[in-house]
Structure 1
Amino acid sequence: MIGTIYNVCMIIVGSLIGKFLHKGLKQEYQTILTQALGLVAMVVGINAVVQNMPKSHYPVLFIVSLAIGGVIGQMLNIQKHFDNLVGRFSGGNLAEGLATAILLYCIGSLSILGPIQAALNHDYTFLFTNGTLDGITSIVLASTFGFGIAIAAGAVFVWQGSIYAIAMLLQNSINTSMVTELTIVGGILILASGLGLLEIKKISVLNLLPSLVVPIIAVLVLQAF
């Protein structure tokens, strides 16, 4: 778990630095940083999809995942509950920034493969690399949305900690195919988040989060037969 702890600490430190930058930034600079983050999110999302789609053994699974996950997320109305919760503690557009932060921090090859590598091979290279990148990202995010971005550190700890624990319990069941399918769906969600930041199209990204569970279950079931 040392790699995950490092990752969490880097997000908190980056958010602290971004907090002080946030106070001195004029609105036009916050706007351009938000637009920059939107472009980054879109590129990261597209890259994840493009890199992993050719490796997919189940090319329509991401469609099924988004459909099923979207319906479940809409029934639970995750986006509304999340917005209301964040709104109790702060105003402005922190909810949107926090949702983007959680997706950027959690849904990526390094964040998924890192805990698996740590659990199976005691290799923390991916997590240390991911932590450094997240630290830099948190500076930019917090300079735009404020210190509330640090809340995402908790999500990262739970996410990576859960993957680490599952990898320890299911060492023989985790495979590259599962990671590939999960990363494709995750890339699409990050892309959707970027569209929202750029004000191209507001998408209830959090209502689509259950889509991330579908590829894991589907691959386990399909490979069982």
Structure 2
Amino acid sequence: MRAGFPGLGTLINVVAVVIGALVGMAIGHRLPERTRAVVTDCLGLVTLLVAGLSCVSVTDASLAAAVGPGVPVLIVLGSLIIGSIVGSLLRIEERLAGLAGALQTRVARRMHSADGETPDEAHAARERFIEGWLTASLLFCVGPLTILGSISDGLGRGIDQLVLKSVLDGFAALAFASTFGVGVLLSALSVAVIQGALTVVGVQLGSVLPDAHIAALTATGGLMLAGIGLRLLKIRDIPVGNMLPALVVAPLLTQLVVVIRG
């Protein structure tokens, strides 16, 4: 499917997330707590499934050919360690929580949703907002469809991948918003910024990353999604926000290995 203009695929994706989130918010209050809890468990399991599919990229033939056998796992490990150290020093998780909390407070004030809330209820609402925003943003913005689809759109090669991603994200947003509320709605902004930026890069530079670098990034992102899945299932509260720099480190580390081998 040819795009009418660069960025159309991202626009469709953003609209799908917004519609899905609004529908989820509309029906969410009608669901009992036990139903919302099991929905969250289902989302956690599916997130682990998506994470597993992304992690398989560590076995990608182009990555093994570029860095050598056995090295891809070390690249992913190194990316996560370096990225997490940088993220923790920059306190990314804490800053994201502060930013999300400020946004949640502003949105709550406009929607008058904070009227009559106790401090505990307000804190729970803030935590739910942060979890929804971070979880949905990572789920929607990390993966091969995000990168390849946005670049393909920027290159004028079509928006088929982003249309497929839009359908998946729309249903995911509906499910997430029924549990996490307005935080999922604002994840559409994350989609617009990240995919929009990748599309612009595709327009300007033609090709952003070789297949090997994309595979390393995707596998690293897959493990981060696994962390989100564990958080959703309440198994372990992994500070995934602090791992975000790993998405930048992965292709850089891959390139370093390629240069050393060359």
Flag the 1:172–1:34 CA change in 2: closer, same or farther, 3 A: closer
Conserved in 1, the CA contact under 8 Å of 2:128 and 2:181?
no
Aligned counterpart for 2:241 among listed residues 206, 211, 216: 206
Instruction: Specify the SS of the correspondent of 1:123.
Output: coil
Superposition TM-score, scaled by structure 2 size: 0.81
Q: 1:53 aligns with which of 43, 58, 79?
A: 58
Contact 1:18/1:138 (<8 A) preserved:
yes
- What residue is the counterpart of 1:99 in the other structure? 134
Distance change (3 Å), C-alpha of 1:162 and 1:220: farther
Once the two structures are aligned, what percentage of the paired residues are identical? 32
| Cross-structure match for 1:119 | 154
The 5 A counterparts of 1:144-159 are: 144-159=179-194
CA distance in 2 between counterparts of 1:36 and 1:136 reads: 13
Q: Runs of 5+ in structure 1 lacking a partner? A: none
> Counterpart of 2:76?
62
Partner of 1:73: 87
Alignment of 1:1-225 (within 5 A): 1-50=7-56, 52-55=57-60, 56-57=63-64, 58=67, 59=72, 60-88=74-102, 89-90=104-105, 91=125, 92-172=127-207, 174-224=209-259, 225=262
Partner of 2:108: none
Kindly indicate whether the alpha-carbon contact (under 8 Å) linking 1:115 and 1:161 is maintained by their aligned counterparts in 2. Answer: yes
* Partner amino acid, structure 2, of 1:48: S
The answer to whether the Cα contact below 8 Å between 1:18 and 1:143 also exists between their aligned partners in 2 is yes
- The answer on whether the counterparts of 1:18 and 1:147 sit within 8 Å (CA) in structure 2 is no
- The residue number in structure 1 matching 2:122 is none
What is the CA–CA distance in structure 2 between the aligned matches of 1:215 and 1:38, rounded to whole Å? Answer: 25
The one-letter amino acid paired with 1:26 is P
What CA deviation, in whole Å up to 9, does each residue of 1:152-203 have, x standing for no partner?
Answer: 1111111111111222333255211111111000000001100011011110
Distance 2:255 2:192 in 1: 25
1:66–1:211 CA contact under 8 A, matched in 2: yes
Aligned residue for 2:245, secondary structure, equals helix
After TM superposition, the score normalised by the length of structure 1 is: 0.94
> Which deviations, in whole Å up to 9, do the C-alpha atoms of 1:96-143 show, x marking residues without a partner?
122110111011111111011112243100011101110110000000
Deviation, 1:95, is: 1.0
Query: Where does the alignment leave 5 or more consecutive residues of structure 2 unmatched?
Result: 1-6, 106-124
Structure 1 Cα separation of the partners of residues 49 and 251 of structure 2? 24
- Contact residue 8 and residue 156 of structure 1 kept, 8 A: yes
Matches of 1:138 and 1:18 in 2, distance apart?
A: 7
**Once the 2 structures are TM-superposed, how far is the Cα of residue 87 of structure 1 from its aligned partner?**
2.4
**Structure of greater Rg:** 2
Aligned length: 224
